[in-house]
């Protein structure tokens, strides 16, 4: 399992420094590398758009 960022992402960057395994990459909307994500959920609470959910 991994977490996923949906279209509600506003590319604010809040989640980026929270990920302990650097699974999040920048873009028009941010993305989580499913192969790297450990499903820790550290990024979920910092997203102001509630765009990060378990895939
Ligand atoms: Fe990184 Fe944890 Fe978010 Fe996965 S759930 S992208 S490991 S912070």
List, in order, residues 6 or more apart from 39 with CB less than 8 Å away. Answer: 1, 2, 3, 54
pLDDT of residue 6: 98
- pTM for the structure as a whole: 0.92
Q: How many angstroms separate the alpha carbon of residue 42 from the centre of ligand 1?
A: 6
Q: Is 38 in the pocket of ligand 1 (CB under 6 A)?
A: yes
3-state DSSP call for residue 52? strand
Q: To the nearest whole number, what is the mean pLDDT of the chain?
A: 97
DSSP symbol at 17: G
Q: How many angstroms separate the alpha carbon of residue 40 from the centre of ligand 1?
A: 5
Q: What is the CATH number of domain 1-46?
A: 3.30.70.20
Residue-wise burial string across 2-37, b where 16 or more C-beta atoms lie within 10 A, e elsewhere: ebebeeebeeeebbeebbeeebbeeeeebebeeeeb
> CA-to-CA distance for 23 and 15, rounded, in angstroms?
10
Q: Is 5 in the pocket of ligand 1 (CB under 6 A)?
A: no
1-55 pLDDT, tens digit per residue, is 899 999 999 999 999 999 999 999 999 999 999 999 999 999 999 999 999 999 8
């Amino acid at each position: 399992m991994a977490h996923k960022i949906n279209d509600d992402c506003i590319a604010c960057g809040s989640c980026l420094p929270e990920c302990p395994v650097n699974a999040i990459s920048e873009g028009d909307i941010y993305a989580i590398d499913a192969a790297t994500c450990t499903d820790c959920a550290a990024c979920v609470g910092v997203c102001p758009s509630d765009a990060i959910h378990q895939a």
